[in-house]
Structure 1
Amino acid sequence: MKKKSFYSFFAVFLAAMLMLAGCFGGKEETAKPADGDSGKKTEETKGPKVLKLNNTEEPGALHPGLAQGTHDSWILEGTFEGLTKKTPEGKIVEGMAEKWETSEDGLTWTFHLRDGIKWSNGDPVTAEDFEYAWKFVLNPKNASTYAYQLYYLKGGTEFNSFKLTKSKDSKKLAEQDKKLKELEDKVGVKAKDEKTLEVTLASSTPYFLDLTSFYTYYPISKKVQEATPKWYTEASTFVSNGPFKLTEWKHKESLKIEKNENYYDKDNIKLDAVTFAVIDKETTAYQMYQNGELDMVYPIPQDVLPTLKDNKEFHNGPDLSTYYFNLNNKVKPFNNAKVRKALAMAIDRKTIVENVAQGGQQPAYSIVPPGIPEGDNGDYQENGGDLFSENVDEAKKLLTEGLKEEGLSKMPKFSIVYNTNEAHKKIAEAIQEMWRKNLDINVTLENVEFQVKIDREHAGDYQISRAGWIGDYVDPMTFMDLWVSDGPYNDAKWSNKEYDQYIKVAKESMDTATRMDAMHKAEKILMDEMPVLPIYFYTKPYVLKENVTGFFTPINRYPQYIYADIEN
């Protein structure tokens, strides 16, 4: 009797203590299973699955038509979806579109949308939303820097290239709007009905289907855009059509996206939410990872990389991207090709990748990275080979000649602009020392926020800047058309008519051999002129907690979390 009474009292006391612990918070503990209990948690005790990631910068624009960097696209790729999407193996599969057909000449594509697809606010996603979104990008009034990605559409170039007047005359503005509408109506994208989108290209484009999975081709809600033009700047007004929806945005601090119950494939989305801590310091992010505050970190501090090679949480995926320096070709003496080439030839890339970057990167002696097939003829980059070499003696000779041609006896002072990132700083410092030692020139370093760097590059307000480019699609053209004259991402401000012509041939031809030959010739011109300095071809080294599954790394995307899961 006494024994039974004691245990009854203890059970009541324990229950009371547990209730109090719940009231006052603290770390949640999981009770050990009683005899005969399987120990399995019920759905009620598991709690939500929240994946914790880091975003290296505050997003510049979470709008598919205005975004222009990975600090935007990593979140957009989880909150939006295009006509197609990519599998972990890189295969292009059905997204918002359930099927499509193309004409024999490759100029007309007809996409049929799925039944029942919805925006996160419950409205139906229609073919008109795609038409509206693509024309939004091309409309010169919206100043989309990625508008050129839609030049493949018939009439796209003409619409976007229309020069807007600065006149305040209402009559002239009305005439301008009329002309814009005429050009817009000629663009090759048309909603035939709510579920059918017809696309007409300016010329056959072998990689067009790949482009439809890229974020500039995502839809936006016409209804939302017209009612709330700044919908994309706050979580409270954000509307998307992807696996997740934006529910919280503490600017310059963090973002949270939650599972979108209106997404057609929601049953295959295992996470309840993903949080993004805005952290520009790699060491801080890695410390948070070690403390359990983050589940995955990319990029990793360079001095940590050598210690992780045998770590089960370390992964190193492929990356279709190049690390390079822009040279402002409009600023003396960087307008001189000999000076530019001297700077390129005086950089020891092997030392940088082995002792500074330390992520398995490959020294770059061309601009297009490996990983792009040249039809059935192997890898494009391997076929092209090295297009220049390092040679300090030749670099000194070229620098002397180039400076003399510009009426200079020595190199003037200049700076390297790089965005806040410890890795970029260390690489800039290494190159600064190489140029001092090999060419006897002094360089200063200037650190700015990422968006500031982008804005200054577009404005030409720099001398040398750190840059990187991830291929938007798997074709050499995603790199090669960056430096066409007047190209929106030609931050080097370089122009070469012969180069432009080869790019034109490669864009218009459907013959693989002709296209690849033209791009190889164009790339040789680029490296002979050296308007940019290739440093290395990226890899994607990251750490991921062992209980997180389902991550995959497409060759031209950040590591993908969409189908990730967390094992409790």
Structure 2
Amino acid sequence: MKKAKLLIVLAVVLALGVSLFAGCAKGGGAGQTIKYNLGAEPATIDPQLNSAVDGATVIVNTFDGLTRLDASDKPVAAMAEKWEVSADGLTYKFFLRKDAKWTDGQPVKAQDFVYAWQRAVDPATASEYAYQVWYVKNGQAISEGKMAVDQLGVKAIDDTTLEVTLEAPTAYFLSLTAFPTYMPVRKDVVEKDPQGWATKPETYVSNGPFKLKEWRPKDAIVLEKNPNWYNADKVKFSTIEMKMIEDQTSSLAAFKSGQLDYIESPPSAEIPNLLASGDAKIFPYLGTYFYIFNLSPNAAKVDPAAAKAISDVRVRKAFALAIDRKAIVENVTKGGQLTATSFVPNGIPDADGSDFKKKDYYPAEGNVEEAKKLLAEAGYPDGKGFPKITLMYNTSQGHQAIAMAMQDMLKKNLGVEVELANQEWKVFQKTRNDKNYIFARHGWIADYVDPMTFLDMWITNGGQNNIGYSNPEYDKRIEAAKKEADPAKRMQLLHEAEDILMNDMPLIPIYYYTNVACIKPYVKDVHKSALGFVYFEYGYIEK
């Protein structure tokens, strides 16, 4: 899932702090209100349309899937109180809990899941995450317009029984049912206002531990406890105020003054001191920070000369080898990140239980000599004749600092001129998705603990493939892996797919994420998932 780290100047918060946080007290006031900095304003909080961590954090606190992730990121019973799996692993029968209700009091029905999943794969919905439902029988064919949506392998046996048929056995399917795209939505609610239902408290009908109380654009999303949730008696927070402060310095200032209880991604320069003082902690984060090249035909419309240059794999490899990742994580990010020498990060098990990451595709420090050689072979010795290239990133001190380091290394090591350009998060997402860039930052956080969550992004015309990458051999490996029942053979196919990806180098991994967060000591049992989401349902303020 896409990751935004958003951030400006202390003067801004000093000037606006009173108006931004009027009435805010330590710990959020009377015991059970927490103030968390969401950072970016979500592009959407519609479960089937969202594709970013910020929106997903709102969704996992306002919706419940068939399962829900626990404090160990394992799927546990949620809307489904139990399930049965056929011997061949292809058919799941879920039994919904009888006390499952929507925020308006209506019962959650199996038909709501059918509608939501069909909506996700319906080409008319244009969901970037449609491919996440391709594990369900006929999902891909429906997304490609080859079959009707009612042919999806999901059906309501009755109001509380859901039967799901998969294309192939999928070991992590239960984890997928906890993912936002698989959350149920009500047909009557969505179809009454398809564009606006997920923007207003009065129409945002959900089924999770909290409900939408208020959305103040560019200020805050406010959630309140949902009394209709089946475990409402265990929810202690009456209110969650999710602020949308895009500047890291301002966010940290608000945290230090007691106006925020929980922030993520403080300014890199402050991290060592925050860790030393205990104000910040490093949490595991299963993801990769990387840069992407636009290999789609649209690149030529953005900048013909630059598009031609990056179409040469030798140029892309030269860029990758000119980067000293070790210097970036030690001198720029400073958050305990690990240098990325592959696309799939550490922390995902292989078939035998060992780590899936077994090789370094290039040295972490780079190889400037080899980079220069490749660039010369491509026709640009010492960068001569290479067009100026624009590197796009979303507005943030953190992203800017990394982009400046990239700019300096490419200039120093290759003689390539890089111009930096930034856009506000929502605009940047559209620019990247529309492929209106040449070179841009990206980040991906795992949706579940399996290499597939990183590798199936790049299939030809995939919903998250915003780089225009296409390699038939790569597609074959991913397709075969999704159908392979033997764990060892399946993982071998995924290793081969990553080999192809790294040889084609349509992207440049920089580091594997960690999550540095500042949390007040009185905040207890708020779960920061290694998959990026923050779960508040069992958290509380210790008085």
Give yes or no for contact 1:119–1:125 (8 Å, CA) kept in 2: yes
Give yes or no for contact 2:380–2:386 (8 Å, CA) kept in 1: no
Aligned to 1:110: 93
When residues 510 and 28 of structure 1 are mapped into structure 2, their CA distance, relative to the original with a 3 A threshold, is closer
Aligned to 2:301: none
Aligned to 2:130: 147
Report the secondary structure of 2:205's partner residue. coil
1:435 to 410, 413, 424: 410
Aligned-pair CA distance for 1:28: 9.2
Distance 1:466 1:28 in 2: 37
Distance 2:264 2:99 in 1: 36
Aligned to 1:509: 484
Aligned residues: percent identity? 42
Cα RMSD after superposing both structures: 1.8
Report the secondary structure of 1:131's partner residue. helix
Aligned-pair CA distance for 1:314: 1.7
CA displacement 1:376-403 (0-9 Å, x = unmatched): 331111xx22112211011001011123
Structure 1 residue 293 and structure 2 residue 269: aligned? no
1:395 maps to amino acid: A
2:275 maps to amino acid: K
Distance 1:138 1:516 in 2: 26
Report the secondary structure of 2:54's partner residue. helix
Structure 1 residue 136 and structure 2 residue 112: aligned? no
When residues 300 and 26 of structure 1 are mapped into structure 2, their CA distance, relative to the original with a 3 A threshold, is closer
Structural mapping, 1:14-25, within 5 Å: none
1:278 to 244, 265, 268: 244
When residues 78 and 153 of structure 1 are mapped into structure 2, their CA distance, relative to the original with a 3 A threshold, is same
Aligned to 1:88: 71
- What's the TM-score once normalised by structure 2's chain length? 0.90
Report the secondary structure of 1:533's partner residue. strand
Structural mapping, 1:248-287, within 5 Å: 248-287=214-253
Structural mapping, 1:237-386, within 5 Å: 237-330=203-296, 331-381=307-357, 384-386=358-360
Aligned to 1:160: 143
Aligned to 1:8: none
Give yes or no for contact 1:333–1:403 (8 Å, CA) kept in 2: no
Aligned-pair CA distance for 1:404: 5.8
State which drifts further: 222-231 or 138-147: 222-231
2:498 to 518, 523, 528: 523
Structure 1 residue 499 and structure 2 residue 474: aligned? yes
Compare relative contact order (CA 8 Å, sep 6+) and give the higher one, 1 or 2.
2
When residues 49 and 396 of structure 1 are mapped into structure 2, their CA distance, relative to the original with a 3 A threshold, is same
Distance 1:564 1:147 in 2: 32
Aligned-pair CA distance for 1:409: 5.0
Aligned-pair CA distance for 1:27: 9.8
Aligned to 1:466: 441
1:558 to 518, 523, 533: 533
Distance 1:26 1:131 in 2: 44
Unaligned runs of 5+ residues in structure 1 are 1-24, 30-45, 164-181
Aligned-pair CA distance for 1:516: 0.9
When residues 241 and 353 of structure 1 are mapped into structure 2, their CA distance, relative to the original with a 3 A threshold, is same
State which drifts further: 490-499 or 412-421: 490-499
Report the secondary structure of 2:275's partner residue. coil
Aligned-pair CA distance for 1:311: 2.5
Give yes or no for contact 2:352–2:488 (8 Å, CA) kept in 1: no
Aligned to 2:173: 208
CA displacement 1:482-536 (0-9 Å, x = unmatched): 1111112122211111111111121110111001111111111111111000000
Distance 2:441 2:199 in 1: 28
Distance 2:198 2:395 in 1: 25
Distance 1:358 1:47 in 2: 36
Give yes or no for contact 2:84–2:92 (8 Å, CA) kept in 1: yes
Q: How many positions carry a matched residue from both structures?
A: 506
Give yes or no for contact 1:206–1:510 (8 Å, CA) kept in 2: no
Aligned-pair CA distance for 1:88: 0.9
State which drifts further: 227-236 or 513-522: 227-236
Report the secondary structure of 2:379's partner residue. helix
Aligned to 2:299: none
Aligned to 1:225: 190
Aligned to 1:56: 39
1:488 to 436, 457, 463: 463
Aligned-pair CA distance for 1:26: 8.9
Distance 2:510 2:448 in 1: 21
Report the secondary structure of 1:109's partner residue. strand
Aligned to 2:431: 456
Give yes or no for contact 1:79–1:244 (8 Å, CA) kept in 2: yes
Structural mapping, 1:524-543, within 5 Å: 524-543=499-518
Distance 2:178 2:160 in 1: 18
Aligned to 1:4: none
Aligned-pair CA distance for 1:85: 0.9
CA displacement 1:178-226 (0-9 Å, x = unmatched): xxxx612211010110100000111221211111110000001122123
Aligned to 1:190: 155
Give yes or no for contact 2:49–2:129 (8 Å, CA) kept in 1: yes
Report the secondary structure of 2:252's partner residue. helix
Aligned to 1:119: 102
Distance 1:161 1:472 in 2: 23
1:402 to 378, 382, 392: 378
Aligned to 2:6: none
Report the secondary structure of 2:354's partner residue. coil
Report the secondary structure of 2:399's partner residue. helix
Aligned to 1:7: none
Aligned-pair CA distance for 1:459: 1.6
Aligned-pair CA distance for 1:313: 3.1
2:279 maps to amino acid: E
Aligned-pair CA distance for 1:267: 1.4
Distance 1:342 1:160 in 2: 37
CA displacement 1:353-376 (0-9 Å, x = unmatched): 011000000000100011111133
1:441 maps to amino acid: V
State which drifts further: 226-235 or 246-255: 226-235
CA displacement 1:294-333 (0-9 Å, x = unmatched): 0011111111101122223322111110000011124211
- What's the TM-score once normalised by structure 1's chain length? 0.86
2:339 maps to amino acid: P
Distance 1:226 1:484 in 2: 31
